Amino acid sequence: MLLWKRASGRARHWGQRCGARLWRGEEGIGTLEIVLIAAILIIVALLFKDWIMRFLNELMGKAETKAGSIFD
């Protein structure tokens, strides 16, 4: 168990160092890239808004039906 904790702690520390280096370095994601990704996600959401809403309503309806049958 102690060996596992040491290994997971080292892996977490390595991941934090690599993540910090990625965000601070020139290879990191810039503000422009984040804005472009957000804009594309918003446009896709607006284009498929009706389909997404129908899908979520059907999904919630099925979940409500299943939950009702479980608790009855």
The full set of domain ranges for the chain reads 2-71
Which pLDDT value is given to residue 58? 94
Which pLDDT value is given to residue 30? 84
- pTM of the model as a whole: 0.45
Q: Give the chain's mean pLDDT.
A: 78
Residue type, 36: L
Higher confidence at residue 18 or residue 39? 39
Q: How far apart are CA 48 and CA 42, in angstroms?
A: 10
Burial of 20 (0-12, 13-18, 19+ CB in 10 A): exposed
Percent of the chain with pLDDT strictly greater than 90: 36
Which pLDDT value is given to residue 25? 59
The percent helix, strand, coil of the chain (3-state, each to 5) is 90, 0, 10
Residue 11 token pair: 């892996």
Are the CB atoms for 29 and 23 separated by under 8 Å? Answer: yes
